[in-house]
Amino acid sequence: MQPMTGTWDIDFGGPATYRIVVKGELGPEWSDRLGGLAMTTTEQTGESPHTELVGRIRDQAELNGVLETLYSLHLPILRVEQVEGDS
């Protein structure tokens, strides 16, 4: 099996701040289930609402748990990014 190329610069070694954007709306009651991430929902005329989740995630396992929870809620995940300058 060939090793994946281009992944050597990704570091999941410790906590980092992430921004995750999903299509849809989440109420504040989901914050605890989603690692305490801060949530902001925006609505634009003629478009579905988007919810942005931002906060500190301890490691890859916690990130995976957050993403799995969003997936199980049937919310399309539009973006996942580590906030620049935070590692």
Please report, for the chain, the start and end positions of each structural domain, with discontinuous segments joined by +: 16-82
Identify the band that residue 79 occupies on the pLDDT scale cut at 50, 70 and 90. very high
Whether residue 66 has pLDDT greater than 70: yes
- H/E element holding 64? helix 60-72
The number of helix segments (H) and strand segments (E) in the chain equals 1, 4
Mean pLDDT on 41-54: 92
What mean pLDDT do residues 48-70 have?
A: 95
pLDDT band for position 47 (50/70/90)? confident
DSSP characters over 23-46: ES---GGGTGGGTT-EEEEE--TT
Decide if 12 contacts 60 (C-beta within 8 A): yes
Q: Residues 16-82: name the CATH superfamily.
A: ACT domain (3.30.70.260)
Which pLDDT score, from 0 to 100, does residue 81 have?
95
